[in-house]
Structure 1
Amino acid sequence: MSQNCLNGALAIVKEMIAVTLLLFLLGPVTLIQGKPSLSIDVLQENDKSGDVPSRERRDVDMSCSSEETIEGGSIEWPEVRSTGSVMKYECPEGTYAFPVGWRVCIQGRWSSLTDSGQDPISKAVCKPMKCIRPAAPQFGQMSPSDREYNSFNDTVHFSCLPGFELLGSSERTCQSNGRWSGNLPVCDKQENFCPNPGVPFGGVRSGDTFTLGSVVTFTCDSGLLLRGSVERKCLKNGVWSGVETTCEGHYEFDSAQDLAREMQNIKSQIFTSGEKTSESALNPFSDRTNKLYFLVDASGTVGTYNFDKTLKFLDNYIRRIWKSGISVKVIFYDKISTRTIEVSRDPNLFNTESLVNRVQYNEFSPDAGTNAGKALEALLENVRSAGSRPIKWTVFLISKQYNSGPVPSSLVQDILKHVKEPDVYFDIFVIGLGNAPRDQLEGVVPPKATEETGRQYSFFLPSYDSLEEVFNDPKWEGTSFEECGIRSKAWHRSVGRIFGGIKSQDADWPWQVYIYMVDKVAVECSGSIISNRWILSAAHCYKSSDVASNLDNLFVVYGLTQRSKYSKDQVSVEQLIIHPNYNQHFDYDIALLKLKQDLTYSETVRRICLPCTQDVVSLVPSPLASWESYCSYQENRLTYAGGDSKERTLNGYIAGWGDIKKNVQRVYLSHAEVSIYPRGQCPAINKPNMPFTDRLFCARGEKSDSCKGDSGGPFVTKKQEKWIQIGIVSYGKSDVCGDKDFMGFYTNVPKMMTFIREHVKELQYS
C-alpha cells in the first residue's frame, strides 16, 4: 500500500472517530433515510417559580413503527409517530386492552408492553371483561349459583334465608368497567347492634359478631387489591367505622363521577374557608390558607397527548375553585428532576396564561422511568418551610406509574409529622391512570384516625380521556343545590353543647325556615324545606281555626339566620295540611305547608333529606321488600325505634329562633346538639298526664334544649356527609326553657312518612 493510500485511510478513520465522539456527546442517533438524526438533551434552568433545573428535549424526526397490532381490536394512530406521540388501542364493548390502553413513542420505539406488575407481555390483545367472581351473602343465596357467571352483562340475583332481610342490591350486573352494578348484598337482622357489614366479592371477613365494640377484619384473594378499611369497629351510634371494604382487580376502574364528587367537596371547603365562625367544629377551615398542590407525572411513558389532557384538566379545575388568597402550585416530575409552576393570578382573567400555554411536554426527560418521590420531596420542603402557620393542605398525585426514587408512602409519613392535626388539615388524593400500580399508589394515602370517614382518596381511571369526563357532571354548574342534605360549610367533629344554643352562620342550616302570621293570630314557628314547594312543620303551631282561614297572612321566610318579618325572601302559603289524628296531647304533631310559588335553591336555600326516600338509599342501606318494611327498618336505624336501645347513642342537631328565656326570643338562628334518650326513660320525665306514643321520641343535650319558638324545626342527623331529618320539634317538659330536668319531645318523622308520602308527590319513595 502506498503512503498516499495509507494517509487517506488514516484520515477517514480519524474523521469517523470524531463523528462518533460528537454523536456520543450530543445524544442518541437513529438513521432516517440513511442520514443520522439526533435527539439532544439540554439541561436548562427552571423558570422563576421553580427550584430544580428541568431537562428540555429537542427531538428531530424520531419516527416509530406503524406495524403494531392488537388482537381483536384496532389502533387509533397519532398524526405523526415522533417522540411523545400516543397511539391508543381500541377494543369492542365488553372487552379491554391488555396489558395497556395506549403506548408512547420514545426515541423511535413504542413504550414496552408490560402488565400492572411490570412483567413483559409479548402482544397486545382485547380480553373479555370479567368482574370479580360473585358470592352468595352470608345467610343468603345467589342465582345462578355458578361463581364463574361474571362476564360482561352477566346478571346475578340474591335473596336471604327466612328471618333475614336483604340490604343492598337484589340483582347485580357485570359492567364494562369491570365493576358490578348496585351495592353489596347483605342479609341482616334488625336486632343486630350494627348491621351486618357483609363480605366483599373476592374477599374474606374475620369476625361474625356485630355488637357494640365488635371488630371485623377483611382480606382479599390473591391477586386482588383491597380498597377501603382493612378493619372496622361497631360504634355506639350503630354504624361501622371506616368505609366499606372492596376487593378489586387491576383492570376495573372508578368512574369519573366518583372523582368529581370529591373535587366538588374540596371546592366547597375552599369557598367556606374564609368565613368566620364561632366554632372550629362547624367550619374547621375557617381563617386557614388553602394550599393546593398537584404532583403531575411528566415522564416519557405519559406522552404529549396525555400530558396535554392533564394540563387542560388542571386548568379547568383551578378556574372553578379559584378564590382570593388560595395558593396553587403544580410540581411536574419525570425520572430525574422536578419543575414547579405557581398559579399566582386568577385564571378566569383574560390575560392570565394557562398551564397549557406555560408548559410543554418536550421540556421533560424522555426516559421511561418516573420518580414521584422527588415531587413529594419538593412538597415536604414546602410544608417544612410553612412552619406553624394555619394551612389546609390538599394534594393530588396524578401518575401513570411509579418505579424509582424514594418510597412515596414514607415521604408522606414524613410530611404528616410537620402538619398539626393532619387528619383534618392534610388530604392527599391519588389519581392512577391506565394500568398504574394500584398497590403502590394506594399505599401513598395514609389512613385517617377519625372513626367515620366515608370519603374516597384514591381513584383509578382507564385513560387520560377520563379526566375530561370529570367536568361533565351537571353539579359543577350549580344544579347541585337541588341535592338534599348538603350544608354549604364543611363539618367536622361534634359541636360543644351550651344551653341557649350556639349562634349559627349563613348556610349552616339552609333548609331551616321561619314561619309567622300577621294580624289575627300570633304564629311564630320554624320549619324545614323538604321540596321547592313544601315545608314540614309541627301541627300545634297552626291549631287555631283562624290560621287556615287566613293563609294569605301566613308567611315562610327562607335563606336567613336573622329572624325578620321584613325579609324580601319570603313567600305566602297556598295550602295547610294538618295530620287528621293530631290532638291536644301533641300526638301526630306534624303539618305540611304548600307554598304559593317554588323556591329557588342556592347556597343558603336547600332541602333536607327525608327517611324512606330514594335520597337516602345509599346513606342508610335498607331491605328491598315493601316500602313499609323499608321504612320500618330505617326508623330502627335512624332513631333506634325512637331511642328504644339503652346501649345505642344517637346525637342530632336542632336549630331555631326560640326563647332565650321566658318571652325573650333570639334574633339570630342558634343550634345545639342533643341525644336521643331510651324510650323507657321518656314517660317518667314527660309532662303530667301526657301520653308518650311511638310517634314521639325524647332527647336532651348537656345544658341545651329546644325552646318555645323552636317548634316545628327539624331534628337532623348526619350520614356520610349528608343530613337527614328524623324529628320535628314538638314540645318540652317545662314552659321555662332549661328548667330543672329539661327534656325535648320530638315527632318521629319515619313514623310520619306515610302522611308525607300521601301529599308530597315530588319526592321519590322507594
Structure 2
Amino acid sequence: MTQAMERALPHGTDRPAVTTQESLPDSTPSCSTQVSIKGGNVSLSDGHRQGSILTYSCPDGSYPHPVRTRICQSDGNWAPMYSSGRRVTQASCRGMRCPPQRAFENGFFSPRLSAYPVRGVLNFECFDGYQLHGSAQRHCQSNGRWNGTSPVCNDGAGHCPSLPIPPGAISSGGRNRLGDRVSFQCQTGLDLVGSSEHVCTPEGEWSGAETSCRAPYSYDRAEDVAAEFGASLTNVLSVVSSGSDHSDLPQDPSLGRKLILSTDSFLHIYLLADASHSVTSKHFEMFKKSLEIIIDRIASFEMPIRFALLSYASQPLTIVDTFDDIAEDPDLVIEKMRDEMKYEDHGNATGTNIQEALMAVYSMMINHRAANSRNWDQIRHAIILLTDGKSNMGGSPKVAVRRIEDFLNVKENRKDYLDIYVFGIGRLDVDQAAMNEVASNKAGERHVFILTDPKELKKAFEDVLADKTQLHIKRRIDHELYNVRAKAAQGIQEFYDYDISLLELDGPGKLGPICLPCTTGANRALKKPETATCKDHELDLLSFEKVPAQFVSLNNERLNVLIKTKKSRPKCISAALQHALYSKVANVSEVVTDRFLCSGEDGNGAVEDASCKGESGGSLFVERRARYFQVGVLSWGTFDACKNKATESNHRVRKTPKRGQKPRDFYLSLFRVQDWLRHHLAGSLRFIPQQ
C-alpha cells in the first residue's frame, strides 16, 4: 500500500484521499478514489481494494452524516449511503445535538426546543411545595450528552422518590407508590439505554438502571467511562472477600452484600475481544492492550480471581479457560494473550457473532461446575465484552445471556453474582439497543459504554482503578479556625481542633472512588430516600458502639481500626492525656473536642492498627453497601507506630506498643465541619439538608 493511500484528507477539504489514479499501485483499484466528506477527513483500511473499510471522521462537536463507515463491495462500488430512506451521494459533518426535554413533572424548564446544540443550556425550576433534586442547569456537551444528572421535583409523599424523566423520553404508568411501575420510551431516532421499566420496591427504591435516551452519534468520554465503569467494577471487587476473619467486628445488616469466599472459591472474569473484519487488525491490537491494562488493574485486588480470555468473529476462539492452571496467574494470562491471541487466526470467518461468543462462556461455566461443583454457587462472574457494536450473525445475543442467567440462578437475591459490561467502539455503527439487551441493568450503575475508537477505550481503562499519587496541587484551603497555638496561654502547646484542609488539583487525580457523606451521590450509594438528611447519614455510618473503619498507611496498605462512639468514646479519648504534651491537662475535652473521632485498642481483644508520623491528613473511611465513605481525616495520635523502625528502603515497619501504652488516633469528623465543606464545595457537589 502506498503512503498516499493511508493518508487522510486534510481537515475541512472536499478533495479525495487519493487525487490521481496514477498514484495507485499498478493493479486497478476496486472502488472509486473520489471519496470525501465535507468538513472532515477520510481514512482507508486497505486502500481502494475490495473489502477495504472507509471511515469518515469529523472535528469534536460534530459527527459524520449519514454514516461513519463504508465498505468497498465486490462490484467495485462503495456501499451506498441513505438518510430517511433517500440515497445520499456526499457525506458531511453535522453539528452534535443533545436530545430535548420532553416532559418535566411538577415544575417547568426553559428554553423549549426540539433539539439543543453544543453549549446549549436547560434550566429547571419546581412548583411551590416541591424540592428539586438533580441538576438545576444542564449544558449540552460536544459528545451529544447532557452534563449533570436528570432533575426531578419531589414532595416526599410517595413510598419511592419521584423518578426523573430523562431528555428525549416520555413516561407512562404509576407514580411512586409501593409496587408502582413506571415505563420510559424514547422518541424516534433515539436509543434507550438502561432499564425501560422501573418498579417501586419495598425498600423505597426503584429497580433497574437509570434510563437515558441517546442519539446514534453520541458517545461517552474516556474520563466518564473510567469513573462510571470504575465505580461499578469496584463494587464487584469490593464485595468479594478472600475469607478474612471478621468475627471480632460488629455485624451490621446495612453493610449490604458481602460475599465471603473460601480459599477454593473465586471471582471469574471473562474477557471477550471482537476480532471481526470491521474491527481491523490495528484496532484489535489496541483491544489487547486495553485488556492487558484491565487484567493488571483487577489483579491488584487481593482476592482469588480466575481469568478467561476469548477472541471472536464468526466463531469464538478460547485463549484461556477459567479451568486452566494459568487462569489464576494474571502475568501468565497476559503473556499468553500477547503470544497466542491473534487477529489472523480467525481467517476468513470475519462476521460478528456475539451470541456464539457468549455461548462459549456459557459452555465454559458448565464444564467448570461439572469438574468442581463444591463451591460453584459462591463464585461471582463478570463478563467484559469489547465489540464494534453490531452482531450481524448467530441470532440475538440475549438468548445466550438468558441461558447464563438461568445457569447461575440469577434471581432477585442473586443478581450480584453476574455483571455483564459491554463496550461498543465506534460512533454511528454501534447498535446501542442491542448492546443494552446484553448488558446488566443494575440500580445506580452503568454497564453499557460507547467510545469513538480503541484509543479512547485504552485511555479509559488506564484510568480505571488507577492509583495516581502524583497529584498537582493548585490551591490549598485550610480551615480558618485552625490554630495550633490557640491554647498556648493555657499550657496546651499544640491544639489540633479544625485540623482539616482542602486541596484543589490543577489536573486529574484519582486515589480510588470514595463517597463524601451528606451529598446526593452518597445518598444514592447508601440507598436512602431523597428526604434523608446529613444526620441520617451520620446515624447510618457511625451507628455502632465500635465502628469498623480503615485508613491507608504510607506503605499504601489498608489498616483496620474501630471508631469508638457512644459509651465507648469517653474511655477512648481519655487516653489522650497520656501524651507528654497533655499530661498536665485536667479536662480531656480541652484537647479532644467533640469534632474528633477516636480509635485505639481498649484491651478487650480486638486488634487495631495505630498510625505513624507522616500519615496525618489521610482519609478515615467505612464501608457500607459495597461503597467507601470518608467520615474523617487523620489528625494526630499518641503513639508513633513506626518510630525507629524505618528500613533502608524507607519501608516503614510497624511496632507494637509497650506494656501499659494505650495508642490513640484522633480524626476530624467530616460531620462536624459541614458548614465549611458546603461553603467551599457547593459549586462541585450537591449536598442534602443537614437536619
Q: How does 1:149-548 map onto structure 2 within 5 Å? A: 149-190=115-156, 194-207=160-173, 209-235=175-201, 238-261=204-227, 262-263=229-230, 265-266=232-233, 269-270=236-237, 273-278=241-246, 283-284=258-259, 286-287=261-262, 288-322=265-299, 326-335=305-314, 337-342=315-320, 344=326, 353=335, 355-366=337-348, 369-387=351-369, 388=373, 389=376, 390-400=378-388, 401-421=390-410, 422-434=414-426, 435-447=429-441, 453-473=443-463, 476-479=466-469
Contact 1:195 1:210 in 2 (8 A): yes
Query: C-alpha separation between the residues in 1 aligned to 2:422 and 2:512?
Result: 31
Aligned to 2:62: 95
1:411-439 deviation per Cα after TM superposition (whole angstroms, max 9, x unaligned)? 11112222255512222111122222222
**Amino acid corresponding to residue 204 of structure 1 in structure 2:** I
Aligned in 2, Cα 1:243/1:109: closer, same or farther, shift over 3 Å? same
Contact 2:73 2:79 in 1 (8 A): no
Q: How does 1:104-183 map onto structure 2 within 5 Å? A: 112=79, 123-135=90-102, 137-145=104-112, 147-183=113-149
1:228-264 deviation per Cα after TM superposition (whole angstroms, max 9, x unaligned)? 2333344555543333222222222223234324246
1:318-359 deviation per Cα after TM superposition (whole angstroms, max 9, x unaligned)? 233336963323222222x32111283898869974635533
Query: C-alpha separation between the residues in 2 aligned to 1:177 and 1:725?
Result: 36
Q: Deviation at 1:383?
A: 0.6
| TM-score normalised to structure 1 length | 0.56
Structure 1 residue matching 2:400: 3-state secondary structure: helix
1:653-689 deviation per Cα after TM superposition (whole angstroms, max 9, x unaligned)? 536279xxxxxxxxx9569999xxxxxxxxxxxxxxx
Contact 1:104 1:300 in 2 (8 A): no
Query: C-alpha separation between the residues in 2 aligned to 1:152 and 1:610?
Result: 31
Q: Deviation at 1:96?
A: 0.2
Q: Which range moves more in the overlay, 215-224 or 433-442?
A: 215-224
Query: C-alpha separation between the residues in 1 aligned to 2:141 and 2:681?
Result: 35
Structure 1 residue matching 2:270: 3-state secondary structure: strand
Query: What is the aligned-residue RMSD (CA, Å)?
Result: 5.1
Structure 1 residue matching 2:319: 3-state secondary structure: strand
Contact 1:91 1:126 in 2 (8 A): yes
**Amino acid corresponding to residue 654 of structure 1 in structure 2:** F
Q: Deviation at 1:74?
A: 2.1
Query: C-alpha separation between the residues in 1 aligned to 2:430 and 2:180?
Result: 36
Q: Deviation at 1:379?
A: 1.2
Contact 1:267 1:321 in 2 (8 A): no
Structure 2 residue matching 1:411: 3-state secondary structure: helix
Q: Which range moves more in the overlay, 269-278 or 753-762?
A: 753-762
Aligned in 2, Cα 1:671/1:136: closer, same or farther, shift over 3 Å? same
Q: Deviation at 1:293?
A: 1.6
Aligned in 2, Cα 1:63/1:294: closer, same or farther, shift over 3 Å? farther
Aligned to 1:575: 495
**Amino acid corresponding to residue 322 of structure 1 in structure 2:** A
Q: Which range moves more in the overlay, 149-158 or 269-278?
A: 269-278
Structure 2 residue matching 1:299: 3-state secondary structure: coil
Structure 2 residue matching 1:295: 3-state secondary structure: strand
Aligned in 2, Cα 1:352/1:312: closer, same or farther, shift over 3 Å? closer
**Structure 2 unaligned runs (5+)?**
1-23, 248-254, 480-486, 502-510, 549-559, 567-593, 595-605, 609-618, 633-668
Q: How does 1:524-673 map onto structure 2 within 5 Å? A: 574-577=494-497, 609-612=515-518, 616-620=519-523, 636-637=532-533, 639=535, 653-654=543-544, 656=546
Structure 1 residue matching 2:55: 3-state secondary structure: strand
Aligned in 2, Cα 1:619/1:366: closer, same or farther, shift over 3 Å? farther
Query: C-alpha separation between the residues in 1 aligned to 2:207 and 2:631?
Result: 22
Specify the structure having the higher radius of gyration (Cα).
1
Contact 2:307 2:333 in 1 (8 A): no
Query: C-alpha separation between the residues in 2 aligned to 1:325 and 1:641?
Result: 33
Query: C-alpha separation between the residues in 2 aligned to 1:715 and 1:268?
Result: 16
Contact 1:116 1:250 in 2 (8 A): no
Query: C-alpha separation between the residues in 1 aligned to 2:681 and 2:230?
Result: 33
Structure 1 residue matching 2:116: 3-state secondary structure: coil
Aligned in 2, Cα 1:641/1:192: closer, same or farther, shift over 3 Å? farther
Identity %: 26
Query: C-alpha separation between the residues in 1 aligned to 2:452 and 2:165?
Result: 26
Aligned in 2, Cα 1:478/1:137: closer, same or farther, shift over 3 Å? same
1:275-297 deviation per Cα after TM superposition (whole angstroms, max 9, x unaligned)? 42458966315333232222222
Query: C-alpha separation between the residues in 2 aligned to 1:653 and 1:119?
Result: 65
Query: C-alpha separation between the residues in 2 aligned to 1:277 and 1:115?
Result: 63
Aligned in 2, Cα 1:245/1:34: closer, same or farther, shift over 3 Å? closer
Query: C-alpha separation between the residues in 2 aligned to 1:116 and 1:347?
Result: 50
**Structure 1 unaligned runs (5+)?**
1-30, 36-61, 483-530, 535-544, 552-573, 578-591, 596-604, 622-632, 644-649, 659-667, 675-694, 696-706, 727-747
Query: C-alpha separation between the residues in 2 aligned to 1:191 and 1:474?
Result: 39
Kindly tell me the number of residue pairs found equivalent between the two proteins. Answer: 520
Aligned in 2, Cα 1:144/1:186: closer, same or farther, shift over 3 Å? same
Contact 1:394 1:428 in 2 (8 A): yes
**Amino acid corresponding to residue 244 of structure 2 in structure 1:** K
Q: Deviation at 1:478?
A: 4.0
Structure 2 residue matching 1:477: 3-state secondary structure: coil
**Amino acid corresponding to residue 94 of structure 1 in structure 2:** G
Aligned in 2, Cα 1:532/1:268: closer, same or farther, shift over 3 Å? farther
Aligned in 2, Cα 1:117/1:395: closer, same or farther, shift over 3 Å? farther
